Structure 1
Amino acid sequence: MPRRRQAVTIRHVAADAGVSLQTVSRVINKEANVRPEMMDRVRASIDKLGYVPSIAAQRMGGSRSYLIVALNDRDRTIADWRNRQGADWVDQMMLGGMLTCADHGYRLIVELVDTHSDHIARELMGAIAALQPDGVILTPPHSDNPQITDLLEAQGISFARIGSPKPGPGFAVAMDDAGAARLATEHLLALGHRRIGFIAGPPDYELSGWRIDGWQAAMAAAGLETESLLLRGDFGYASGREAATGLLASADPPTAIIASNDQMALATMEVARERGLAVPDALSVVSFDDTPIVRFVRPPLTAIVQPIADMTARAVELVIAEKAGRPTSPDPVIFSATLVVRGSTGRPGDRR
């Protein structure tokens, strides 16, 4: 039987270069306090031996763990996975987070935490004790949960709040949700719509309120009322069906509906079909998220595109910079939304 090739470790590199383990670790971590000739010697040994740095080797250089933990909502994430209805929010978060972490020699780990749990503090402290991360990325609704943010602040852990631009501890990185809703509403107003319904998300997501604000502001600027045009869902398909049914069954139904995520928008289109309302001839529909599925339905959905990967990448950069002692700004980082116009919106038509 052939002998298994022994893995090259940081100790082999240190012995080959004639330096300490800590020096090798500092070179791996691209720290500034290593003499150029020493750095060249270590890199030459790394190349010669084919060494691949590990998290354990990186940790030897100091107090950093080189791990960033992203906390996502357990209940909704698992429900989407089990129903095979997953939006690509988590995928885009991992895209931006993992690539940026890799650029800095870090690793990203995703943990699912139930924000409604009575034991959230114990659950979160267990994850922190096990992983000892250098920083934490919070996603909605965790980014709005003071129990979580206060705990992280008390522990002295650097963290960023995605989707939460309000003042508070940690770095705030968010999309302009109010501006996004205004953008969607103004698109429909420009097409000639005057009765524009809105299906909002649940109140435990603060961004739900900001989107309502943006929609109402655009309608008010056009001199239009919003009474009886607002219903809430929970970001799930069933809640979208219920809200769309309520709006379309009213005495003076909307000619257009903005839904706060893709599942609720798809449910709206289904309800419209059941009621014999062609999209967009009799009803225009706009969505948030722009997950892949909305491009393949008929007609394809006009949608607000959320820069999730870019927001997560920036959040990771801020957390790593703070851990490294580099200067950072406390000001919120706000990303503008974009609207992709597709076949689900058009001028108000015949409501036969």
Structure 2
Amino acid sequence: MARRRQAVTIKHVAADAGVSLQTVSRVVNKEAGVRPEMAQRVQASIDKLGYVPSIAAQRLGGSRSYLILALNDRERTIADWRARQGTDWVDQMLLGGMLTCAEHGYRLIVELVDTHSDHIERELLAAIAALQPDGVILTPPHSGNPLIINLLAAQGISFARIGSMTPGPGIRLIMDDTRAAQLATDHLIGLGHRRIGFIAGPAEYELSAWRVEGWHAAMAAAGLPTDDLLVAGDFSHASGRAAAHQLMALPNAPTAIIASNDQMTLATLEHLRERRVAVPGELSLISFDDTPIIRLAHPSITAIAQPIAEVTARAVSLIIADLGERSAGQEPIVVPAKLMVRNSTFPLGDVAGQGVPVSGFDLA
């Protein structure tokens, strides 16, 4: 039976170079205070032995853990997993976060936390004590939770807050949801639509209000009414069906609908089919998120594509650069979304419902 090859450790490097473990750690972590000739000797041993630094070795320096902790909404994430509805938001967060962490020798760890839990403070402190992360990424709705924000600030941890404008410490990054909703609404207005319904997300998410504001602003600028065209959902499929039913039951039903996430959009499409309302022949439909199922739907759905991977990558880079304390009070960093025009939107009066060509528009 073949023997397993013994892994090269930091101890092997230290012995080969004739230096202490701490010296190897400082060279690995690119810390100051190591003489050039000593650093060259250690690097030569690393190259000769084929040593790959581990987190344990990197931690010997004592200043960093080389871990970034991302906190996501437990209840909603688990519900989507169990329903097998997919969590593209989480996938894109991992894509941007993990790749950027790897570029800097870091690891990304994801924890699910329920914002409404009575034990949230205990859960967070336990996770921080166990992992000792160098930084934390907060996603909605955690990014706007004062309890979480103040707890991390008190711990002296650099952290980024995605999708939050709530005042306070932390690096704030947004995808300009207000302007995104304006762009989606303007697109429909440009196609001749005047009755444009909007299905909002839950109030606990700051971005829900921003999207409503963008829709309101675009409608107001065009002199169009909105009184009976706004319905609240909660990002679930069921709430999307209920909202679509409410809108289509109006005496003067909308000719276009914008839904605040893909699950509610798919539910709206399902309800419209049951009512034998053709999309795009009789009603135009726009979604937020732009998950794969939206692109593969029939018809393919016009959507706001959120740059989640890019935002998370920026968050990781800023945390590693240790900008947390200096970011308090600064303007949020904006990473613009795009409107991807597909086959679910059409000019009002175009009975053939041919729609418009596929394209993308930056919000920058």
Question: SS state of the match for residue 12, structure 2?
Answer: helix
Larger deviation: 196-205 or 162-171? 162-171
What corresponds to 2:208 in structure 1?
Answer: 208
Matches within 5 A, 1:206-245: 206-245=206-245
- Residue 250 of structure 1, CA deviation: 0.9
Contact 2:238 2:267 in 1 (8 A): yes
What corresponds to 1:156 in structure 2?
Answer: 156
Report the Cα distance in structure 1 between the residues aligned to 2:324 and 2:178, rounded to whole angstroms.
Answer: 34
What corresponds to 1:320 in structure 2?
Answer: 320
Letter in 2 for 1:50: G
Question: SS state of the match for residue 68, structure 2?
Answer: strand
- Runs of 4+ in structure 1 over 4 Å off: none
Contact 1:281 1:347 in 2 (8 A): no
Report the Cα distance in structure 2 between the residues aligned to 1:283 and 1:323, rounded to whole angstroms.
Answer: 47
Report the Cα distance in structure 2 between the residues aligned to 1:149 and 1:69, rounded to whole angstroms.
Answer: 14
- Residue 168 of structure 1, CA deviation: 1.5
Report the Cα distance in structure 2 between the residues aligned to 1:342 and 1:304, rounded to whole angstroms.
Answer: 11
Larger deviation: 32-41 or 334-343? 32-41
1:50 aligns with 2:50: yes
What do residues 274-301 of structure 1 show as CA deviations (whole Å, max 9, x unaligned)? Answer: 1111001111000000111111111000
What corresponds to 1:72 in structure 2?
Answer: 72
Contact 1:165 1:334 in 2 (8 A): no
Report the Cα distance in structure 2 between the residues aligned to 1:147 and 1:71, rounded to whole angstroms.
Answer: 14
- 5+ residue gaps, structure 1, are none
What corresponds to 2:283 in structure 1?
Answer: 283
Larger deviation: 26-35 or 234-243? 26-35
User: What is the root-mean-square deviation of aligned Cα atoms in Å?
Assistant: 1.7
What corresponds to 1:3 in structure 2?
Answer: 3
Report the Cα distance in structure 1 between the residues aligned to 2:102 and 2:163, rounded to whole angstroms.
Answer: 23
- Residue 33 of structure 1, CA deviation: 3.4
Contact 2:72 2:112 in 1 (8 A): yes
- Residue 347 of structure 1, CA deviation: 1.3
Question: SS state of the match for residue 100, structure 2?
Answer: helix
Letter in 2 for 1:297: A
- Residue 123 of structure 1, CA deviation: 1.0
Letter in 2 for 1:67: L
Q: How many residues align?
A: 350
Question: SS state of the match for residue 173, structure 1?
Answer: strand
Report the Cα distance in structure 2 between the residues aligned to 1:231 and 1:199, rounded to whole angstroms.
Answer: 5
Report the Cα distance in structure 1 between the residues aligned to 2:340 and 2:307, rounded to whole angstroms.
Answer: 13
- Residue 131 of structure 1, CA deviation: 0.7
Question: SS state of the match for residue 322, structure 1?
Answer: coil
TM-score normalised by length of structure 2: 0.93
Identity %: 72
What corresponds to 1:269 in structure 2?
Answer: 269
Letter in 2 for 1:340: M
Contact 2:96 2:312 in 1 (8 A): yes
Letter in 1 for 2:211: R
- Residue 137 of structure 1, CA deviation: 0.2
- Residue 46 of structure 1, CA deviation: 1.3
Report the Cα distance in structure 2 between the residues aligned to 1:171 and 1:328, rounded to whole angstroms.
Answer: 5
Contact 2:72 2:140 in 1 (8 A): yes
- Residue 323 of structure 1, CA deviation: 7.1
Is the alpha carbon distance of 1:328 and 1:203 closer, same or farther for their aligned partners in structure 2, counting shifts above 3 Å?
Answer: closer
Letter in 1 for 2:61: G
Report the Cα distance in structure 1 between the residues aligned to 2:33 and 2:94, rounded to whole angstroms.
Answer: 32
What corresponds to 1:292 in structure 2?
Answer: 292
- Residue 43 of structure 1, CA deviation: 1.9
What corresponds to 2:184 in structure 1?
Answer: 184
What corresponds to 1:196 in structure 2?
Answer: 196
What corresponds to 2:114 in structure 1?
Answer: 114
What corresponds to 1:248 in structure 2?
Answer: 248
Question: SS state of the match for residue 217, structure 1?
Answer: helix
Larger deviation: 162-171 or 309-318? 162-171
- 5+ residue gaps, structure 2, are 353-364
- Residue 138 of structure 1, CA deviation: 0.2
What corresponds to 1:305 in structure 2?
Answer: 305
- Residue 39 of structure 1, CA deviation: 2.4
Report the Cα distance in structure 2 between the residues aligned to 1:287 and 1:238, rounded to whole angstroms.
Answer: 16
Is the alpha carbon distance of 1:144 and 1:191 closer, same or farther for their aligned partners in structure 2, counting shifts above 3 Å?
Answer: same
Contact 2:175 2:334 in 1 (8 A): yes
Letter in 1 for 2:231: L
- Residue 328 of structure 1, CA deviation: 6.2
Contact 2:171 2:323 in 1 (8 A): no
- Residue 331 of structure 1, CA deviation: 3.0
